[in-house]
Structure 1
Amino acid sequence: MSLLSRLLVTAATLWALSAQAFAPQAGTWIVSAELDGKPGRGMAIDVQNDTFVMQMYAYESSGQPTFYLAVGTLSNNQVAAPLTRYEGGRFFGSAPRSGVLAGNPGTVRMRFTSGIAGFVTFPGEPERAMHRVNFAYPFAQSSLRGVWSFNSLGSMGLTAEAVQLTTSAGSTSGGNGILATSDGRFGCEHQTSGELAGGVLCVKLNGSGQVQRAYFFVYSVNEGEGYMQSVGVADDQLLSVRRLTTPSGVGTGIVIKEEPASPADLGQLQQRLAEAALRLQR
């Protein structure tokens, strides 16, 4: 069976694993049907351990803007928490002052179907689909540019490698353009058709140009999950992927950051060339 065929066969395993418990990604979330490019309501969600925190910006029936806070315990990919509203807090330029509880319209209920999607039920409303908003990375070749880390765990133990994708290449019949390392031995492409559509497929070649490893993952913004397959190894490795730099080279973590380039010392280069010329003429 070919490596690509094995990727297709084992895709079912990945989707089965998604039924296990997971933490939704921290970030900006929205009711999917309300994403229309106009001012509306939205949610900032974060989960640490099993503690769920959501800040929501919305409006009163009068049209006045307001915000709510919900804190609860995430269990089995679900959470129910009271929505609390506050008022009277500090405004721009004010002296120190604290907000006070100003009401509780009811309980918000959420159930997550993946780390980036799920359903929400607000007080007085039916259940609606929601998702984490990706507003800066289109499903395009350009979004793959930068440094990525690939960490897998399985029968091979823990494997890890980091690559810098810098070089644009043509597209395959199932994707929209390959982004590769400068030596052409590692490349990735968004998949746009077939059973892998919606994910990213990467291959690593050895010095002879043969596939050494294949990676398939689905990602949102800076984080992805999937599996890795290695030639000669029957079992797939669970895969965790992270974007370490943006396409422009800015670090995405809390430590790694873009380092300013040192100015080139062309004067020193000129001096050394002159010295070399004198030596060669003697």
Structure 2
Amino acid sequence: MKKKLLAISLLLGTSLAQAFAPQAGTWVITAENNGQPGRGFGLDVQNSTLVMQMYGYESSGSPTFYLTAGALTNNQYAGPLMQYRNGRFFGSGERNGQEAGNAGTVKMRFVSGTQGFITFPGEAEKEIARFSFAYPAGPDGLKGIWLFSPLDTVTPSADFFRLEQNIGATDGGNGLVMSTNGRVGCEHQTKGTLAGSVLCVRLNASGKLDRGYQMVYSVNEGEGLLLTPSGEPTALAVMRRLGNSTDVGTGVLHKSSDAQELSEAAAQNFRGEFEAFKASTQND
């Protein structure tokens, strides 16, 4: 099985195109990401509104923070970078932060959901990226429970599997990690036209290539393509890591059996409310 996965993964190849929105999380200035305390910022985009909170330093060396918020249009943003002071400190009572001035206009443009460029007041444009600090770009970074969902309305399907076993690298990647049942293998591609993406293959019960996937992901979210056995793209696909390598859930609810019981109870309660609502509308 290992040899088949190693060989088949070499056969698949296609260009990857995807839609995107800037991913929420911690972002860094690429050139300043040297492992030392420096500048970074938290970024979140909900609907078409962008909010950025940035930590930085004064010319005196004192730490400070800024906030900007406004509309994100065509993957670009421009707005005032406001500074604040006199807010709460550890152990203080109620204190309301106050605007301390406008540092100038900050501009951002995004080229993917995890990469872009920023222009701070008084500085040249710099490259920025979503900061991934716990998932290495190798086989160990792919481990966990995954759900792959092709966006194919003709024959809807999905693949659900746990990646857990390292089985060696192909010529184009840095190490395949295989699923529990030995039928799915994924690998970060480091060479050729696929470099920078992840290639996955799935075998059927007879050990023959059934389908493939190519994706770009950040932390727990991915987007990409469903591939035929010959490597031709047939549909867009979305991917999500549902649990990490120790089976800790990555979602907003299902972290434990207690959460499962809570979810089932909530579903039963909603069903009762829905039935009552339906009955009331029928009586009107």
- Do these two structures clear the TM 0.5 threshold for a shared fold by scoring above it? yes
CA positional deviation for 1:7: 4.7
The equivalent of 1:176 in structure 2 is 174
Q: CA RMSD in A?
A: 2.1
Contact 2:11 2:230 in 1 (8 A): no
C-alpha contact 1:155 1:237 (8 A) present in aligned 2:
no
TM norm structure 2: 0.82
Structure 1 counterpart of 2:87, one-letter code = G
Q: Describe the superposition over 1:208-241 as per-residue Cα deviations: whole angstroms up to 9, x where unpaired.
A: 1111110111111111111012349975110111
Distance 1:241 1:71, change over 3 A: same
Question: What is the CA deviation profile of residues 146-197 of structure 1, one whole-angstrom value per residue up to 9, with x for unaligned ones?
Answer: 1001011136443222111122212222222221122211111111222212
1:195 aligns with 2:188: no
The CA distance in 2 between the partners of 1:91 and 1:70, in whole Å, is: 21
Q: 1:135 to 1:239 in 2, by over 3 A?
A: same
Q: What is the CA–CA distance in structure 2 between the aligned matches of 1:205 and 1:214, rounded to whole Å? A: 9
Counterpart in the other structure of 1:38: 36
Aligned length: 251
Instruction: Output the CA distance in 2 between the equivalents of 1:47 and 1:6.
Output: 38
Q: What corresponds to 2:51 in structure 1? A: 53
The one-letter amino acid of 1:202's match is C
Instruction: Output aligned runs, 1:41-190, within 5 Å.
Output: 41-154=39-152, 156-190=154-188
- 1:264 corresponds to which residue? none
Is the contact between residue 249 and residue 258 of structure 1 (CA under 8 Å) also seen in structure 2?
Answer: no
1:228 to 226, 229, 249: 226
State the match for 2:279 in structure 1: none
Tell me, which stretches of 5 or more residues in structure 1 are unaligned? Answer: 261-282
In 1, Cα distance between the equivalents of 2:228 and 2:179?
19
The normalised TM-score by structure 1 is: 0.83
1:86-117 CA distance string (max 9 Å, x none):
11011111111111111001110000011111
Q: Distance in 1 between matches of 2:175 and 2:66?
A: 43
Secondary structure, counterpart of 1:158 in structure 2: coil
CA deviation vs aligned residue, 1:51-95 (integer Å, no higher than 9, x gap): 000000011111111100000101101001111111101111111
Answer yes or no: is the 8 Å Cα contact 1:223–1:243 preserved in 2.
yes
What is the alpha-carbon distance in structure 1 between the residues aligned to residue 182 and residue 9 of structure 2? 19
Aligned AA (1:84) = M
**Stretches of structure 2 lacking an aligned partner (at least 5 in a row):** 1-7, 259-284
Structure 2 contact 226–233 (Cα < 8 Å) conserved: no
Provide the residue aligned with 1:267 in structure 2: none
Q: Are the counterparts in 2 of residues 154 and 235 from structure 1 also a CA contact under 8 Å?
A: no
Displacement of 1:24 in angstroms is: 0.4
After superposition, the Cα gap between the structure-2 partners of 1:6 and 1:233, relative to the gap in structure 1 and judged at 3 Å, is: closer
Distance 1:110 1:38 in 2: 24
Which structure's CA Rg is the greater one? 1
